Structure 1
Amino acid sequence: MSTRVPIIDLTPWFQGSPDGRAAVARAVDAALRETGFLLVTGHGVPEALRADIRAAAKRFFALPRDVKDAYATTVGGRGWLPPGVEANGYAEGTATPPDLKESFAVGARETTGDAAVDGFWFPPNVFPGEVPELRALLEDYLARMRALGDELLRICAAALDLPLDFFTAKTSHPSYTLNLNWYPPLAVTGAPEPGQFRIGPHTDFGTVTILDREPGTGGLQVWGEEDGWVDAPFVPDSFTINTGDLLSRWTGERWKSNRHRVLAPDASAPEEELMSLIFFYETDPGAVIESIPAPLGRVAHPPVRAADYLGAKLAAITVG
């Protein structure tokens, strides 16, 4: 597996010319087959919105611990995920110390009427009263990410010469989560333990992940069989996109769900703090996912219900 992460401009796709859309789809297919990662520009999401979210989120993370405790939750919940509740390396079966981060999570909020489904996949969002502007910013961003997630899935369908709604037919009432991940400086975390990361090595679980990140010494790395761990490229005003396990399974492993990690804070940059906005897109929880057969697909996995598959993945990375 290569660690080459290409940059793809989505402008021709949105402009609608058949040749331009076909070229974007081909480039996406190549990237997801080779690496499982790409950078996209021309996505249409305002940079100012992301900057405003970061500024408001930093005000939240700077609040005293006892104030943030009122919003505390755990993996899969809505609100504040304190330090120590998540260890992504467990997704690979590797026992690692907890990830060196704090998160604030919001997500899909349109309930189904099924209490069991709603309680896990569509719980109410919680917003901090101490930072009231965060609610409108995040609701705006969630709507934009949902729309972009579906558009990426349409591009994925075009990449396989399938009907454009092949994937989105199962995202009429999807689950999704937006994590605001704050990676504190060394002064806050202290020296990392052996094998400890800001986020441990893992793959993502859903269909596509849309990441808005900041560059740093303790930043994102992508795994390659030939190159090992390699720093992911950074382009201002781009999103980093990667395939999740569910989409890889759906395509019969034609597309990679690639390992990645976020390095621990480094002694060479003791004051570095970073913040990532990470949108994890999934499907309707009740959707049954069947692998696309050969010749497009490579591996025929048994059908799986999305909620069962994703729920097991989330449980695996929860500490305690």
Structure 2
Amino acid sequence: MNRVDLPIIDLGATGSNEPEASQRAAKEIWSALQKLGFFCICNHGVPESLVAEVRDKLLGFFRKPVSDKLKAKGTPMRGYTGLTEINFSAVYGEKSDTADLCERLSFGREVSREARATDPYYQADFANFIVPENIWPPEETAPGLQEAVFDYYAAMERLFNHITNLIGLAADLPPNFWKPFFSKHCSALTGVYYPEPAPEHCNNAVRRLAEHADPNMLTILSPGEMANGEHALEIKHEGSWHPVPARPGCFIVNIGDMMEFISNGRLKATRHQVVTPRERAGSERLSVVYFGNPNYDAVFETLPSCLPKGAAPRRQSYEAFLKEQLGKMTISTPSA
């Protein structure tokens, strides 16, 4: 199986004072998303120490006994969900005898009690699902986790805004085009933990996370190390699966279905999966994933620069899109 070497895009010189560098990076990002739907970024401005800190705190939580982890029991949007509790592949019509072989711990923006009590945005029925309150593990279960998540989440917000602004630049959009769509965004930061699988799962027929595309705008992934020398993440390109190597100091970025819609299919929400290692020992793995989502009540039109001449734009409500997609996801009740 041939691996795919994702383009590595240097963000170090991009910014408002470096228009030429920003234009160059924007074109590189657009090209990568047209061809692969994925790319890597380096010199992104997120300190390695912060990445290491949040990974360390999340691993500390996931290595606790199940009884401790269930103290943060939640939903796919917030809190802890256990091994094989979710079958996300069902969203995409994939048939899998095994649900996701991973655990998750998810957080969103912290919203004040006053805002939740007075803002209709947070009182709508769908808000109870997509932007509920965070569920934090007790400090004794995950010491230092909350502070590390706050810092990392803020860094991901800034990086997400920068990358989407570069995409907007490539699409000839005006500055701050995306800002109204993300004023109360429902993005999630999720630790995805893959413990050593059961022996019967260590074969090519079982995947830790089945084939899917992301139902969001854009994803920023800290993939961690290889498991037993194997690259766990694979993307589907030209009908075949290709392992994607993790690169030191880099994040892996991909777009989701909603960005593909907005671009009228010019950018690709590429299917991907996480494979099971052939050897069980030493195959523990942690991904830290920022799923960038707009306000749930945002309504998008296909971008003018992505439409054929004279074609009318299509419209899509993000809430309706999410309800359709996530309504297909299957969730089981875990055993303690």
Q: TM-score, normalised by structure 2?
A: 0.87
In 1, Cα distance between equivalents of 2:245 and 2:69 = 33
Equivalent residue of 2:290, what SS? strand
Structure 2: any 5+ residue segments left out of the alignment? Answer: none
In 1, Cα distance between equivalents of 2:312 and 2:282 = 48
Letter in 2 for 1:219: A
In 2, Cα distance between equivalents of 1:301 and 1:203 = 23
In 2, Cα distance between equivalents of 1:218 and 1:318 = 27
Which one of the candidate residues 253, 260, 263 is aligned to 1:241? 253
Aligned to 2:206: 196
Letter in 1 for 2:90: Y
Matches within 5 A, 1:1-320: 5-14=6-15, 16-76=17-77, 78-96=78-96, 97-110=98-111, 111=115, 113-114=119-120, 115-116=123-124, 117-129=126-138, 130-186=141-197, 189-192=198-201, 195-216=205-226, 217=230, 219-226=232-239, 228-267=240-279, 270-293=281-304, 296-297=306-307, 302-320=314-332
Q: CA deviation at 1:203?
A: 0.2
Contact 1:180 1:275 in 2 (8 A): yes
In 2, Cα distance between equivalents of 1:218 and 1:99 = 18
Q: CA RMSD in A?
A: 2.1
Contact 1:153 1:168 in 2 (8 A): no
In 2, Cα distance between equivalents of 1:95 and 1:74 = 22
Moved more, 257-266 or 190-199: 190-199
Contact 1:254 1:297 in 2 (8 A): no
Could you list the runs of 4 or more consecutive aligned residues of structure 1 that deviate by over 4 angstroms after TM superposition? Answer: 298-301
In 2, Cα distance between equivalents of 1:262 and 1:41 = 23
Q: CA deviation at 1:123?
A: 1.2
Equivalent residue of 2:80, what SS? strand
Q: CA deviation at 1:73?
A: 2.1
User: Could you list the per-position Cα deviations for residues 211-254 of structure 1 after superposition, in whole angstroms to 9, with x for gaps in the alignment?
Assistant: 0012322510011115x100113210101000111111011111
Contact 1:154 1:164 in 2 (8 A): yes
Equivalent residue of 2:306, what SS? coil
In 1, Cα distance between equivalents of 2:130 and 2:91 = 20
Q: CA deviation at 1:261?
A: 0.5
Q: TM-score, normalised by structure 1?
A: 0.91
Letter in 2 for 1:257: A
Letter in 2 for 1:134: L
User: Could you list the per-position Cα deviations for residues 126-156 of structure 1 after superposition, in whole angstroms to 9, with x for gaps in the alignment?
Assistant: 1111113000000111111111111111001
User: Could you list the per-position Cα deviations for residues 39-77 of structure 1 after superposition, in whole angstroms to 9, with x for gaps in the alignment?
Assistant: 00111111111111122112211221122222222322x
Q: CA deviation at 1:88?
A: 2.5
Q: CA deviation at 1:9?
A: 0.3
Q: CA deviation at 1:265?
A: 3.0
In 1, Cα distance between equivalents of 2:11 and 2:26 = 10
